Amino acid sequence: MTNDKNEDARRAAWLETANTLTEALPNILRHDGQTVVIKFGGHAMGDADLARKFARDVVLLKQIGVNPVIVHGGGPQIGAMLERLKIQSEFVQGLRVTDRATVDVVEMVLAGHINKEIVTSIAQAGGRAVGISGKDGGLLTARKLHRTVRDPESEIEKVLDLGFVGEPTRVNPAVIQTIAGSDLIPVIAPIGVGEEGETYNINADTAAGAIAAALGAKRLLLLTDVAGVLGPDGAVIPELSAEKAGALKDEDTIKGGMIPKVETCLDAIEKGVEAAVILDGRAPHGVLLELFTDHGAGTLIRRAG
In a domain, 23, yes or no: no
In a domain, 24, yes or no: no
The pLDDT tens digits of the residues spanning 99-132 come to 888 889 989 999 999 999 999 999 999 999 999 9
At 71, which CATH number?
3.40.1160.10
In a domain, 46, yes or no: yes
In a domain, 107, yes or no: yes
The pLDDT tens digits of the residues spanning 3-28 come to 666 776 777 767 776 766 677 777 77
In a domain, 106, yes or no: yes
Structural domain for 288, as ranges: 33-302
Confidence label for 304 from pLDDT (cuts 50, 70 and 90): low
- The domain tally of the chain equals 1
In a domain, 163, yes or no: yes
The pLDDT tens digits of the residues spanning 192-229 come to 999 999 999 999 999 999 999 999 999 999 998 888 88
In a domain, 18, yes or no: no
In a domain, 281, yes or no: yes
pTM of the model: 0.88
Specify the pairing of strand 95-96 against strand 91-92: antiparallel
Query: What does the buried/exposed string (b/e) look like for 148-157 if buried means 16 or more CB atoms within 10 Å of the residue's CB?
Result: eeeeeeeeee
